[in-house]
Chain A
Amino acid sequence: MTAPSASPGQAERAAISRNYRPPGAVVIEIENVTKLYKMGEEIVHALRGVSLNVSRNEYLAIMGPSGSGKSTLMNMLGCLDTPTSGKYHFSGKNVSTMTDDELADIRNREIGFVFQTFNLLPRSTSLANVELPLIYAGLSPGIRRERAEQALRDVGLGERMMHKPNELSGGQRQRVAIARALVNRPSIILADEPTGNLDSRTGEEIMQLLEDLYEQGNTIIVVTHEEDIARHARRVVRLRDGLIESDARQA
């Protein structure tokens, strides 16, 4: 949905241009990144020097067994964490040295999270959940509502806006989460085991939705340990022991 239409009007262009980069432009640039954790006396090397570039409108899967550093890499890609050493540039901005609030702003504007457990606010309606990133972005109520409604319609939940999470099926909840991820028109959508809590048929529907979003020009990164899920991606990065084991494009 961030791809420009044939002849966009001036206003429309302004609205979508903020995060717009032509397909192929580099969004994520990671160079020799390491991450150390102290677990009591022990020092854990979660990442031992990872380099990775992700371009606009890529569909990337990050795979690896548990303990491979996959979650750490995802947290770092999602600007929830900063590297111990190495460089991380997001859309040309150096993320490694940012403060917590600057990281919060990047997460708000540039990244859309989709979690395994959906992570919706349980007492809020679908609409309110999707509006939340826009509130923190400081948009006015009118624009918020309009964009949140549009995002919910885009994921096929136009009829479920006033439902609360516990009134929705798992697949519907994940759609709300995807609408929330989309609503700020982010540079990347970062999905962590997006089908992990869904049955296989619903999971397939969600993967189809991500596929559609990819087709519309979005950049998608899926973190998973399931080969079936990774098969949807056009590129698969495999991690082992904090290092990239392979990085391969697939049809």
Chain B
Amino acid sequence: MMLTEIFRMALVSLGANKLRSALTMCGITIGVFSVIGVMTTVTALRSSIETGISIFGSNIFQFAKYPIGGGPGEGSGRRKFDMRRDITLQQALRYKRLMEGKADIVCLKVIDQTGGAQAVYNGRKTTPGLTFMGTNEYFLTSNQYTIDEGRNFTPEDVELARPVILIGQSIRKKLFPAEVALGKVIRMKDRTYMVVGVFADKGNSFGGSGDDIGVIPITRFYGDFGGEKRTVNIATQAADQMVYNDTLDKALTAMRIARGLKPDEDNDFEIYSNDSLISAFGKVADIIAAGSFVISGISLLAAGVGIMNIMLVSVTERTKEIGIRKSIGARKNNILIQFLIEAVAISLAGGVLGILLGVAGGNGLAMMLNASVVFPWNWAAIGLLVCSGIGVGFGFYPAWKAASLDPIEALRFE
């Protein structure tokens, strides 16, 4: 009961110095905001990835020369993968044949790495920097595209390396603002292709537009641009979840045969799936989280010093008040607790504000990246705990100083 009274006294004192309390609070708010903001964004993205926005369709795994994100650490790690043999079109086609009857949907993909792909039609141009790739008729399924107008590739298109192209919505809008796109011949990297299909809107995902895309048969791609320094990504879809692991086993065998590996040689290709994508994203997220942790740790430390500073000023200013309280019977602990509560209140109020702003800001950013809204309870709880800790930690010395004042000296203070 005495505690509630002391609590009230502390709040009254804070209210008497609103601007000062608010400014001190600001430091904490900024520190908490940064860490909660980042954590909210990361949590939102993570939960979105885990619950649906998949880069691949379901039950799909992929073989590639490079791991996602270039592998651990750029420099030497990357070089290790550079040393690997490329996955050639011949190997990919052999793999596909080996998998016939085991997994029917095998999507081969080779991406133009030179950059600057630009589509041109009748003097109209798209911006350079399109995603341009060679693939086959399973591209739609494994990459979750749908056809809006026209048709998908047929097996014959791929087999005969026909000069046909499927384009994304943004290309259609740019090149054919008022005409039908189907049947028109567009120019891409100095080659011409006939538009046979237009993808439905894909929207943005993770910073890139899924609509800035043009795909041609993979055989045509090799024919037009050669096979030098190209490596094929192979996506395979298992029939269902039940046979996923079984299919993956068979696929590994098939891929090892296609690559000509001896039994004692390790796999010289990467295997990844939605799971591995999630874990790869998780690794990136962890690094971001650790970074923001360090930064906000430093800013919280600075804010804590700010609290200590303002509390020391406050103790000096209120020496007389402390003397009065002691003369009428306040014990050491009564004074200590009063000043500690003031420090913790500043810190916690700053923390709560930081959490609210951080959650709002983080979710705002997450929504821009098409992720769903989350409230990171655990981070909020940790934030509040840390703020209380800062309040107690940095408020203790000033409070102890106040509590230890000699009542006679304090009363004499003017």
Closest to A99 in B: B332
Indicate if the CB atoms of A138 and B408 lie closer than 8 Å: no
The interface centre, meaning the residue of B324, B328, B407 with most chain A CB atoms within 10 A of its CB, is: B328
**A81-B408, A115-B411, A119-B411 given as contacts; is B12 within 8 A of A107 (CB)?**
no
**A123-B12, A136-B2 given as contacts; is B411 within 8 A of A107 (CB)?**
no
**Interface residues on chain A, number (Cβ under 8 Å):** 28
Q: Which chain A residues in 116-158 approach chain B with CB under 8 Å?
A: 119-121, 123-124, 132-133, 135-138, 140-141
Closest to A131 in B: B5
CB-CB under 8 A from A140, the residues of chain B are 1
A81–B410 Cα gap in the complex (Å)? 13
Indicate if the CB atoms of B331 and A107 lie closer than 8 Å: no
CB-CB under 8 A from A232, the residues of chain B are none
Q: Which chain A residues in 204-234 approach chain B with CB under 8 Å?
A: none
Indicate if the CB atoms of B1 and A113 lie closer than 8 Å: no
Question: Is B202 located at the chain interface by the 8 A CB criterion?
Answer: no
Question: Is B47 located at the chain interface by the 8 A CB criterion?
Answer: no
Contact of B332 among A78, A101, A180 (CB under 8 A): A101
- Chain B 321-334 near chain A by CB (<8 Å), digits 1 or 0: 10111111111111
Question: Is B320 located at the chain interface by the 8 A CB criterion?
Answer: yes
Task: For the complex formed, measure the closest distance between the CB of B401 and the CB atoms of chain A, giving whole angstroms.
Answer: 15
Question: Is B178 located at the chain interface by the 8 A CB criterion?
Answer: no
CB-CB under 8 A from B332, the residues of chain A are 100-101, 104
Task: For the complex formed, measure the closest distance between the CB of A31 and the CB atoms of chain B, giving whole angstroms.
Answer: 22
Task: For the complex formed, measure the closest distance between the CB of A166 and the CB atoms of chain B, giving whole angstroms.
Answer: 13
Closest to A140 in B: B1
A107–B325 Cα gap in the complex (Å)? 11
Indicate if the CB atoms of B331 and A105 lie closer than 8 Å: yes
Question: Is B242 located at the chain interface by the 8 A CB criterion?
Answer: no
Contact of B320 among A78, A101, A119, A135 (CB under 8 A): A119
**A81-B408, A121-B321 given as contacts; is B327 within 8 A of A135 (CB)?**
no
Question: Is B16 located at the chain interface by the 8 A CB criterion?
Answer: yes
CB-CB under 8 A from A119, the residues of chain B are 320, 323-324, 327, 411
CB-CB under 8 A from A80, the residues of chain B are 327, 407-408, 411
Indicate if the CB atoms of B325 and A132 lie closer than 8 Å: yes
**A119-B411, A123-B16, A136-B334 given as contacts; is B327 within 8 A of A113 (CB)?**
yes
A180–B332 Cα gap in the complex (Å)? 20
A138–B13 Cα gap in the complex (Å)? 21
CB-CB under 8 A from A137, the residues of chain B are 329
Task: For the complex formed, measure the closest distance between the CB of B200 and the CB atoms of chain A, giving whole angstroms.
Answer: 68
CB-CB under 8 A from B325, the residues of chain A are 132, 136
Indicate if the CB atoms of B408 and A75 lie closer than 8 Å: yes
**A104-B332, A121-B324 given as contacts; is B2 within 8 A of A135 (CB)?**
yes
CB-CB under 8 A from B13, the residues of chain A are 123
The interface centre, meaning the residue of A120, A132, A137, A138 with most chain B CB atoms within 10 A of its CB, is: A132
A105–B334 Cα gap in the complex (Å)? 12
Question: Is A87 located at the chain interface by the 8 A CB criterion?
Answer: no
CB-CB under 8 A from A141, the residues of chain B are 1
Closest to B5 in A: A135
A119–B327 Cα gap in the complex (Å)? 10
Indicate if the CB atoms of A104 and B329 lie closer than 8 Å: yes
CB-CB under 8 A from A132, the residues of chain B are 325, 328
The interface centre, meaning the residue of B13, B321, B333, B407 with most chain A CB atoms within 10 A of its CB, is: B407
- Chain B 320-360 near chain A by CB (<8 Å), digits 1 or 0: 11011111111111100000000000000000000000000
Chain A to chain B: the 7 pairs with minimum beta-carbon distance, closest first: A108-B329, A136-B329, A133-B328, A104-B331, A101-B331, A135-B5, A119-B324
17 new A-B pairs (CB below 8 Å) besides A123-B12, A124-B12? A80-B408, A81-B408, A100-B332, A105-B331, A107-B326, A108-B329, A119-B320, A119-B327, A121-B324, A132-B328, A135-B2, A136-B328, A136-B330, A138-B1, A140-B1, A180-B328, A184-B329
- 25 A-B pairs, CB-CB below 8 angstroms? A80-B407, A101-B331, A104-B332, A105-B329, A107-B326, A108-B328, A108-B330, A109-B329, A113-B327, A115-B411, A119-B320, A119-B323, A119-B324, A119-B327, A123-B12, A123-B16, A135-B2, A136-B325, A136-B328, A136-B330, A136-B334, A137-B329, A138-B1, A141-B1, A184-B329
A contact residues vs B (CB 8 Å cutoff): 75, 78, 80-81, 100-101, 104-105, 107-109, 113, 115, 119-121, 123-124, 132-133, 135-138, 140-141, 180, 184
